[in-house]
Structure 1
Amino acid sequence: MLEINKELEEYILTHTENEDQVLKDLTRETHVKMLRPRMLSGHMQGKFLKMICQMMNPKRVLEIGTYTGYSAISMAMGTSSDCVIHTIDCNDELEYFTRKFIKQSGCEDKIEFHIGEALDIIPNIDEEFDLVFIDADKRQYIEYFEAVYLKLKQGGFILADDVLWDGKVLEEVESKDKQTQGILAFNDFIQNDNRVENLMLPIRHGLMMIRKK
């Protein structure tokens, strides 16, 4: 995996299209007002998600793990006016903050924001998805995958974030916490699942691209 130092990261960002102003504002306020701002997708990953949507032109998208809305807004900016993005977060304390930025982004008509546990909400969303983005509790990644698999169109994609988990996947077994164990189990599960094809990318904290055969 390529080690991205600050200078190289800055070079990459200066050769990537400028961040939309509402996303800059969202990033700044998230760092000032929220705990664990590193959970934010950020400019490079947000641009990647936007361009994936521009390539795929999905009509139905599901996101598990909204946080403050950066990734949902990024995807919405890359989709057509008839796309619907269902995004789910269990933290109701973030709702006002997140809805404010969804409205400011101009993507409010595309984004359906659900508050609650994803495994309870997903069965009640009557949609077939073209694209799913998973970025929530690492201990439940396999459960999230199974919950969305039957709702994913054949040929559709799942993107799973944090699959390298800051390199923790390479630590000694006895030092691994439950979140890291969840990521390891998910990575092995996907690698051995013949229903899908997969590619792991060293983008940010690791991104797994999964295609339903």
Structure 2
Amino acid sequence: MDKVIDQYLLSHIEEESPLLARLYRQTQVMMVNGRMCSGHLQGSLLTLLSKLVRPSRILEIGTYTGYSALCLANGLSDNGILHTIEINDELELLAASFFEESGMRDRIIQHIGDADDIIPQLDEKFDLVFIDADKRKYLSNYNLLFPKVALGGVIIADNTLWAGKVVQKVATNDDQTIGIMLFNDFVKTDTRVETFMIPIRDGMTVLRKISE
């Protein structure tokens, strides 16, 4: 049933661009965990949210092959910049090649390394943030980046339903599920943000910063 609904949804949104379709296919062929790529349904939502915010500065944690970065970059304001962080240096050139082909290369700044090390070095105020990397570090990423988010800025966290594991009994050694649950529980009670969870794909949480 979920696949039928997904197909219905895909048939009622704008078509995927040829560039993004090719990037998605290449990711599935080249990567063992190709399912980590955002894909058209989620990518369309990211594009829409970015266009609604019209950010001058975007921060993405977890570049992967660059699909979500390109979707988010579609909503940048004039002269806007997107910073994207990826810990796996083997993915840098693949993402960069598609950034170049898209014509957005000069507006996307790639950082290679651990987000916990890179975030403190970024002297920016971000209007939009997308968290989609190590689930064990979601909460530490959130706490590090929060002071760098502009008032009224939007934070999006991916995979917050984590294949339904968040409502199942969790093994004590399942650090990724525990990390997601700690993040979900924290932001639910964080009075500095307004929060909503969207049950699309693996779950997305959208937060709006309302106070420091």
TM-score (ref. length: structure 1): 0.95
The one of 65, 69, 88 equivalent to 2:66 is: 69
> In the aligned structure 2, how far is the partner of 1:115 from the partner of 1:81?
26
> SS of the counterpart of 2:106?
coil
Residue 169 of structure 1 aligns with which residue? 166
> Which residue, out of 187, 191, 197, partners 1:194?
191
Once residues 100 and 137 of structure 1 are traced to their aligned partners in structure 2, the CA distance between those partners, rounded to angstroms, is: 24
Structure 1 distance, partners of 2:176, 2:198, is 19
Shift of 1:174: 3.3
Is the CA contact 2:55–2:80 (under 8 Å) kept in the aligned structure 1? Answer: yes
Match of 1:127 among 109, 124, 128: 124
Secondary structure in 2 matching 1:109: helix
Aligned residue number for residue 157 of structure 1 = 154
What RMSD over aligned residues (CA atoms) do the two structures have, in Å?
A: 1.2
- Deviation by residue 1:59-88 (Cα, 9 ceiling, x = unmatched): 000000000000000111222331100000
Counterpart amino acid of residue 67 in structure 1: Y
SS at match of 1:15: coil
- d(CA) in 2 for partners of 1:133, 1:45: 12
Q: Which residue of 1 aligns with 2:12?
A: 15
| Contact 2:84–2:109 (Cα < 8 Å) also in 1 | yes
* Helix, strand or coil at the partner of 2:205: strand
In structure 2, the residue matched to 1:178 is 175
Deviations 1:68-123 (A, max 9, x none): 00000011122233110000000001111111111111111210011011111111
Question: Secondary structure of 1:167's partner?
Answer: helix
* Cα distance between partner residues in 2 of 1:172 and 1:119: 29
Count residues with an aligned counterpart.
Answer: 210
- What letter is aligned with 1:153? A
Matched to 2:163, the amino acid is D
Out of 70, 78, 102, the position equivalent to 1:105 is 102
In structure 1, the gaps of 5 or more residues are: none
Structure 1 range deviating more: 160-169 or 188-197:
188-197
- CA–CA distance in structure 1, aligned partners of residues 171 and 47 of structure 2: 38
**In structure 2, C-alpha distance between the alignment counterparts of 1:52 and 1:71, rounded to whole Å:** 12
Name whichever of 167-176 and 31-40 sits farther off. 167-176
Deviates further, 134-143 or 73-82:
73-82
Identity of aligned residues (%): 49
TM-score by length of 2: 0.96
Amino acid in the other structure paired with 1:94: L
